[in-house]
Amino acid sequence: MEPQAFDPAASSAQPLTKGSVINRLFRTKPIDQILADADHPDHRLKKTLTAWDLTALGIGAIIGTGIFVLIGTAIVGDTHRPGAGPGIILSFVLSGLTCALAALCYAEFAAMIPVAGSAYTYSYATLGEFLAWITGWNLILEYGVACVAVAIGWSGYFNNLLLLAGFELPHWATHPPGGPDGGFANIPAAVIVLLVTVILVIGIKESARATGIIVALKLAVILFFIGVGAPSVNAANWAPFMPQGFAGVGAAAAIIFFAYIGFDAVSTTAEEARNPQRDLPVGIIASLAICTVLYIAVAAVLTGLIPHTQIDIHAPVADALRLVGFKWGAAIVAIGAVAGITSVLVVMMVGQIRVFFAMSRDRLLGPWLSAVHPRFGTPHRATVITGIGVAVLSAFIPISDAADMTNIGTLFAFVLVCLGVIVLRYTKPNHPRPFRLPLMPLVPILGMLACLGLMAFLPGLTWIRFGVWTAIGVLVYAWYGLRHSKLAAGAAGH
């Protein structure tokens, strides 16, 4: 059945009764309508991505800030959590297994519903409009805060490279206002965001190609670190293996979960894949598997090179090589970190833009956001808005606890995706599934439990902030989305 045309006037004019509100909150969007909307000429995205492009995008998003920066905090600990010490190896295994369970659910959904929007779209098809909105709202938290944190991290590594080359930017140009070391703005962070924005407006294929080159470079750097560092590993540094017990391992797993975020961004590019039914599961699972193996190897080498108490929390991988005498190696790793973090920023912004695009197309956000550029075939308005917003925040706001906020929003989305797979298996048992996850419903149930378990290890303040953000989202939905929803307009036309 063809979806009805959207009429904003009809939507906004409909009175809201108690019964109609409840119906709208739990109204699901038919899969056929989702696919038809994606193929509408006004919102059709160009299909250019191959399985390699998708895998490269996934690796590009996954390997970056987590392994180059956050691993130090996870090993040593901070005021909010105990450190894992060498047990960080187990932390990566725990987070990797959690993501693997969620990845299988994402793969089934992405092959079945190959459209932009990721967990937001999947929730809309299975759990209803309200939970879809909450999912999308928290994906905005995931990608938006992550983009800001990644841009600031890129700026720090870029400034370090300039210092190694004998150049130094003025303090006011590299630090945001506020705090004891405040300046005027973090200009490098804003500049890199704006450059990435221009690339994404021109075209996703071009950004995928650039990401592919960067992925090859940073994989080479990580393999270089493993190859150079492994011969210098001292097994005595692995004892005690879990200095803070499982509490440290679990707390570290909750923060280095940030290092895995990105595989889900592959599903947000579903509409731009040439053969999404085959290539999306390959891109999601392959990128996660490759990164998990590399992470475990890096963690083993890093904690074996020097005692875990001596690991620098700001540049742990490069600094470890410097401490054991490989200063030239430290410079190479720093260059790889800049490249790696750049590719993370590209894919995280792609994810943010595609979530905006999908929510706008459903009229839960302003419809002008889902316009597609007539020449480039990209959602240029959503791209520009995202780029400007992230650039401003990166320049003027010092972001703390960004990883925790990103993680809790992502884990919540993963829980709903796992639940949605179970719901859709029972409500649409005969719908074509090019990829079927095994051991249903055991895999998604374990995925939900694992995600909730990692969320439990996050600091209490993070839960408070998450609650406030979600409450704001509920208010925005009640003020705008509830009345302007495309599904509500379609129902009103009957």
- Is the C-alpha dihedral spanning 204, 205, 210, 212 positive or negative? positive
pLDDT of residue 178: 62
Nearest to 267 by CA among 33, 64, 106: 106
**Beta-carbon count within 10 A of 207 CB:** 24
- Does 4 have pLDDT greater than 60? no
- Helices and strands (H and E) in the chain: how many: 22, 2
- Per-residue pLDDT reduced to its tens digit, 9-27: 333 334 545 555 566 665 6
- Whole-prediction pTM: 0.76
H, E, C per residue of 36-69: HHHCCCCCCCCCCECHHHHHHHHHHHHCCHHHHH
Whole-number average pLDDT of the chain: 79
CA dihedral of residues 258, 259, 264, 269 (deg, nearest 10): 110
* pLDDT (average), residues 235-261: 89
**404 versus 295: which is more confidently predicted?**
295
Q: 273 pairs with which residues across the strands?
A: 49
Q: How far apart are CA 262 and CA 461, in angstroms?
A: 24
Please tell me the predicted confidence (pLDDT) of residue 432.
81
Is the predicted pLDDT of residue 3 greater than 50, yes or no? no
Tokens of 163: 């210092």
| pLDDT for the residue numbered 1 | 36
More confident call, 469 vs 122: 469
Contact 98, 106 (CB under 8 A): no
Is the pLDDT reported for residue 429 higher than 80?
A: yes
The confidence score (pLDDT) of residue 456 equals 92
Span 319-342, average pLDDT: 81
The Cα 227–Cα 438 span in angstroms is 36
Which amino acid is located at 424 in the chain? L
CATH for 47-477, options being 3.30.530.20, 1.20.1740.10, 2.60.120.10, 1.10.287.3510: 1.20.1740.10
Say how many CA atoms lie within 13 Å of 425 toward its Cβ. Answer: 18
In one letter, which amino acid is 380?
Answer: H
pLDDT at 238: 93
The span from the CA of 164 to the CA of 146, in Å, is 27
Count CB neighbours of 222 within 10 A: 23
Give the rounded percent of residues in the chain with a pLDDT score beyond 90. Answer: 16
Residues 81, 79: Cα–Cα separation, whole Å: 6
pLDDT given for residue 8 in this prediction: 37
Q: What does DSSP assign to residue 348?
A: H
HSE value, Cβ hemisphere, 13 Å, CA-based, for 135: 27
Run of H or E including 488: helix 486-492
Q: What is the pLDDT of residue 298?
A: 93
Task: Of 55-64, 134-143, 468-477, give the range with the top mean pLDDT.
Answer: 468-477
Q: Which residue has the tokens 């509409």?
A: 271
From the list 216, 231, 154, 235, the residue with the least C-alpha distance to 187 is 154
Most confident of 116-120, 133-137, 265-269: 133-137
Give the separation between CA 330 and CA 324, rounded to whole angstroms.
10
Residues 459-464, mean pLDDT to the nearest whole number:
88
pLDDT tens column, 217-230? 888 889 999 998 89
Residue tagged 């290092």 (tokens): 259
Give percent of the chain with pLDDT exceeding 70: 82
Q: Is the pLDDT of residue 455 over 90?
A: yes
Of 10-19, 61-70, 153-162, 416-425, give the lowest mean pLDDT range: 10-19
Band (pLDDT 50/70/90 cuts) for residue 5 is: very low
The whole-angstrom separation of Cα 373 and Cα 381 is 8
Neighbours of 132 (CB within 10 A): 32
**What is the residue extent of each domain of the chain?**
47-477
d(CA 178, CA 157): 21
Please give the C-alpha separations between residue 179 and each of 95, 183, 399, in angstroms, as whole numbers: 33, 9, 11
Kindly report whether the peptide bond that precedes residue 379 is cis, defined as omega within 30 degrees of 0: no
User: 396: which 2 tokens?
Assistant: 């003027």
Contact 448, 415 (CB under 8 A): yes
- For residue 447, name the pLDDT band (cuts at 50, 70, 90): very high
Per-residue confidence (pLDDT) for residue 87, from 0 to 100: 93
* Residue of 389, 398, 406 whose CA lies nearest to 194: 389
CA atoms within 13 A on the CB side of 245: 1
pLDDT at 151 over 80: yes
- What are 31-90's pLDDT values in tens digits? 666 666 656 665 555 666 778 888 877 887 788 777 887 788 889 887 778 889 999 999
Distance CA 58, CA 50 (A): 12
pLDDT at residue 338 in the model: 83
Overall average pLDDT of the 266-293 stretch: 79
* CA gap 301, 100 in Å, rounded: 23
What is the mean pLDDT of the segment spanning 425-431? 85
Taking Cα atoms as reference points, which of 102, 446, 409, 433 lies closest to residue 285? 102
